[in-house]
Structure 1
């Protein structure tokens, strides 16, 4: 009896020690998706009785992602990244000194075990990425959005430390982005900023709110909120003696291209706008198109699929409460999507995960705002010079459909100075490509087509007063 009690006390002591330990620090591990190994690193911090975490995915050169909530209770680690569309739930194995659990993102679920310490992956910059020391002035900056009570961190590059220069603000696309708009091994905003600065144009690029070194909650923000972050950047630039305040411009990529007009129409301090892979149709229409062109599964009846997609959008954009929308949308997806996926022999568990993810994403403030927002309404108001560039092989934002919307809005508004160009064989990120599909982005060594870079810089230089 004494032996049993001793063993029991030992077990209890071990469990208690594991549960009460401070798990602060780096935890890393690898998950497999098909033949691809993906490395994750979570930096966990304890502040008082609460935890926070920052997620990095070195495989995709993604860093600074801040999940909404991190908890560690009774040996169970829960990283709730609903603001990022991900989650990680694991239990601590005291014998192996590791967390064992699963990582979920969208409809994907992968086994992921984490051990203490960060994994170092050799940085292999793409050919166009600049190498320090740069032949221009670079400064790390922080500026406030006082209305939102957040601080935005970024990098300002100027042709020279001395002088006064025109400056453009780079505005990233949808999803949480760092100041370089890092994606799939590329840093397009770093390449763009380097190129423009070398041409005599200053550049301010910054981490999205809640990302990198910027504070705030990305998951609760809308396109309108992001436009106010841009206005805060303009306010900051106006305080600097090295910035030509009469020549502050905006360059927005993808969603950044619909944020830019919204910001410009709420200030008199924007001299010109460049729209890169921007949309010119409503968020609802774009979503319907993308639901068909980017869908990863076949359907028997395209017309019925489109009708049901529009019904889902109508539910999301209704004036009902969030709980009512969530319930109605879940029921609709169960009637609409579940039979399609079941016919494709998708496991029930995966279908449930997919539908839950779709509902959670759809009811977020960003989605509801985006689906009701038509950038053409803001583009029509613009009376400043506008350059619109889209790639002919962009599979995310169709060039012809969206540039037609942009063109018609500018004509309707009587804008006297605009240029719209469809660039041949370029994808959504302005890479020279074969197919334009999203799975091709990583395989391409080029980050930003020199043709597109030259179009941007030449046009901006031609519109500086």
Structure 2
């Protein structure tokens, strides 16, 4: 599989911060970001196959990185393009560069200036991180250089911030330790959060949304899975969370031409469940799996392979075909601009055509990825062709808690109602809509917009309590 066939268009990644699979599938180990439990990019173009090399002059590279940002600000996209290596030039042609910058400023506001730079070296690549200040939020602009001084990677990321636990987290009520989820030769670092207790504990595995998420499902300055894990541990529920395979093994993921939802999400979640259930501190009769976003969409598949699970929690889980959600999300994003540009209009037309190809019975494994939504290959779409998550969940006939934010524009109340229609007659199922919560189950007011994810916040306490209460009903008298 060629790298350029797996890279998402950068501007599309901006519009769909969470939406699907390999937001970094084209990423190389040359740059690793603390995603989902690091700050995922607002827009990303991943490093190319340029060779790393000995450290170049840091002052010279810093000047080049600042010049790249200055060229963006001046809308001199030709100057930016000339700094790229050949693979980057192919991945980000001039028209796409303009889209990238417009998407960044639409979300983060106008550029004000920078507050400094820092440097990193990863696997021989040199990265200059410009600490840029925009009107609405600070961003880290990460420019990655190869040994010749050409730009081999470009990332616009939410600025690094230190985690401050919400008031409902009681750090004295639990301990945390490192743990590794092993699935064949895949080894995924994780964290086990254990309540302080002498009795056997209920436990739950957290399954991420789309993209190369870390164990905290870091989104901008927010870490919803850390909120969830430490919040639940504060009220007596053990939690296992882990770094996603597409983050830890980015290169290997790219090399898998037959990647499906199973390799991306399902198989590792099953391994994590089995690990949790076998721990001596855990009550094997009270083990659960929680999926957020794409993780919720995948839960029926996970459930079919975790027959000993006591139940499932679906948070903002897509119930409709993913290609429909991609189109709906893009339409929503572009609707925020009352006067869409010609390029935006053309983008929407192209996405509609790509979505139609996914639905076309003529779709085959040989269909080029660039003809399909987000450059995701045909193998992924064909694997999902007959997958109906609510119907599959109903077939499992196990207790399921389905939660949905009313301000979520990525997965909406329409999805909640589909889950409800399929599961309402299954004993132990419950459905809750939180009108003021977004896709991350954080509170807000008014119309939800992508820049909401750049504002630091925490998962609402009511969500933590509702999950804890639901799990508590499985306690044996």
d(CA) in 2 for partners of 1:122 and 1:325? 37
Which residue of the other structure, out of 411, 425, 430, is the alignment partner of 1:419?
A: 430
Unaligned runs of 5+ in 1: 1-50, 78-90, 330-357
8 Å CA contact 2:228, 2:459 repeated in 1: yes
1:450 aligns with 2:468: no
Q: 1:56 to 1:227 in 2, by over 3 A?
A: closer
d(CA) in 2 for partners of 1:402 and 1:281? 7
Aligned to 2:302: 263
Q: 1:426 to 1:179 in 2, by over 3 A?
A: same
Aligned to 2:368: 325
Which residue of the other structure, out of 406, 409, 416, is the alignment partner of 2:422?
A: 409
Query: Which structure has the bigger radius of gyration?
Result: 1
Unaligned runs of 5+ in 2: 1-27, 66-82, 102-116, 122-126, 132-158
8 Å CA contact 2:174, 2:234 repeated in 1: yes
Matches within 5 A, 1:81-92: none
Quick one: higher RCO (CA 8 Å, sep 6+), 1 or 2?
Answer: 2
**CA deviation after TM superposition for structure 1 residue 315, in Å:** 2.1
Per the alignment, in what secondary structure is the counterpart of residue 334 of structure 2?
A: coil
Aligned to 2:275: 236
d(CA) in 1 for partners of 2:286 and 2:250? 26
8 Å CA contact 2:325, 2:410 repeated in 1: no
**CA deviation after TM superposition for structure 1 residue 426, in Å:** 0.9
d(CA) in 2 for partners of 1:395 and 1:95? 43
Per the alignment, in what secondary structure is the counterpart of residue 30 of structure 2?
A: strand
Q: 1:453 to 1:359 in 2, by over 3 A?
A: closer
1:375 aligns with 2:389: yes
Q: 1:160 to 1:378 in 2, by over 3 A?
A: same
1:362 aligns with 2:379: no
Aligned to 1:38: none
Q: 1:231 to 1:324 in 2, by over 3 A?
A: closer
Aligned to 2:208: 172
Aligned to 1:428: 439
d(CA) in 2 for partners of 1:367 and 1:407? 25
CA RMSD of aligned residues (A): 4.2
Q: 1:295 to 1:109 in 2, by over 3 A?
A: closer
Aligned to 1:192: 228
Q: 1:171 to 1:122 in 2, by over 3 A?
A: closer
Per the alignment, in what secondary structure is the counterpart of residue 232 of structure 2?
A: helix
Q: 1:402 to 1:321 in 2, by over 3 A?
A: closer
**CA deviation after TM superposition for structure 1 residue 454, in Å:** 1.5
8 Å CA contact 1:376, 1:406 repeated in 2: yes
8 Å CA contact 1:142, 1:154 repeated in 2: yes
d(CA) in 2 for partners of 1:244 and 1:215? 37
Aligned to 1:83: none
Q: 1:440 to 1:464 in 2, by over 3 A?
A: same
Q: 1:213 to 1:242 in 2, by over 3 A?
A: farther
**CA deviation after TM superposition for structure 1 residue 242, in Å:** 1.2
1:209 aligns with 2:223: no
Aligned to 1:312: 354
1:463 aligns with 2:474: yes
Which residue of the other structure, out of 310, 322, 329, is the alignment partner of 1:290?
A: 329
More strand by percentage = 1
Matches within 5 A, 1:138-149: 138-146=176-184, 149=185
Aligned to 1:33: none
Q: 1:97 to 1:234 in 2, by over 3 A?
A: closer
d(CA) in 2 for partners of 1:275 and 1:127? 23
Which residue of the other structure, out of 428, 434, 440, is the alignment partner of 2:452?
A: 440
How many pairs are equivalent? 363
Per the alignment, in what secondary structure is the counterpart of residue 196 of structure 1?
A: helix
8 Å CA contact 1:152, 1:214 repeated in 2: no
